[in-house]
Amino acid sequence: MVSKGGYKRRSMYGTVPVSFQFIQQLVDKVDKTKYGSDLKLRNKALIVLLYYSARRISEIVGRTLELKNGTVDKWRGVTVKDFRFDTRNGRDIMVMRVRILKKGKAKADSIRNVYREVIMRCDWPLMDLFLDWFDVCEEEGPDTKLFDINRTRAYQILKELDKRVVGNHWLRHQRLSHMAEHLNPFELNERIGFWERLDPAISYVHGRIATYLDAGDKAVQ
């Protein structure tokens, strides 16, 4: 897709979902980069949080946008105080409060302060890497940003690890694709998608062939 400004926008349309093992391999590649130990931990935590939360990069690291009316809409990104820990159904969970950002033409007329809570289990694979980084940031105080980089740099970090990471929303797309195999469109939107319409959620839910064949068997009984 080409915008009115003439630059080519990266779309996730047609992007083939990868396995979770690929996400693990992406994290493992961080150890082979030139960064120091602290930045390696930060970069691993960035991948883990972007994937499990299925949030846009700008929602995690922040974004500054000049609106049509001349005002500036600035979001710092998530900080330590945007997280809380709890227990649900005997499971340790982490809840992240995040601002939902969209730069679309219809959204650029005024500031939209829409926040949602994303629930993640603390014992999911790789989550310990994020929790280790969170502990480092927590020592600096509640107003500490989790990732003190802009969205361009965040995407560059991912792109340096693997050229198959195409577009700022690549990890979001992968997580939504994986979750769509287990949630219906309403659940997908309510818990992790947070779209204003249901259409995007429906586009992710294709259903597994095995489920379709089982349904066909039941339909003729």
Q: What's the mean per-residue pLDDT of the chain? A: 86
Tokens of 134: 């969170």
pLDDT of residue 212: 64
Q: Tokens 């931990």, residue?
A: 41
pLDDT at residue 10, as a whole number: 46
Total-model pTM? 0.85
Q: How far apart are CA 46 and CA 172, in angstroms?
A: 12
Least confident range of 5-19, 67-81, 113-127, 154-168? 5-19
Q: Is the pLDDT of residue 211 over 80?
A: no
Contact 135, 103 (CB under 8 A): no
- Domains of the chain, residue spans: 20-179
What share of the chain has pLDDT > 70, as a percent? 85
DSSP strand E in the chain: where? 63-66, 72-75, 83-88, 91-99, 115-121
Say if domain 20-179 classifies as CATH 1.10.443.10: yes
Q: Are strands 83-88 and 72-75 parallel, antiparallel or unpaired?
A: unpaired
Phi-psi region of 162 (alpha: psi -120 to 50; beta: other; left: phi over 0): beta
Supply the angle between the helices 20-29 and 170-179 in degrees, to the nearest 10: 150
Residue 92, beta-bridge partner list: 87
Which residues neighbour 30 within 8 Å (Cβ) at sequence distance 6 or greater?
40, 43, 44, 47, 161
pLDDT higher than threshold 90 for residue 67: no
Determine the pLDDT at residue 70: 81
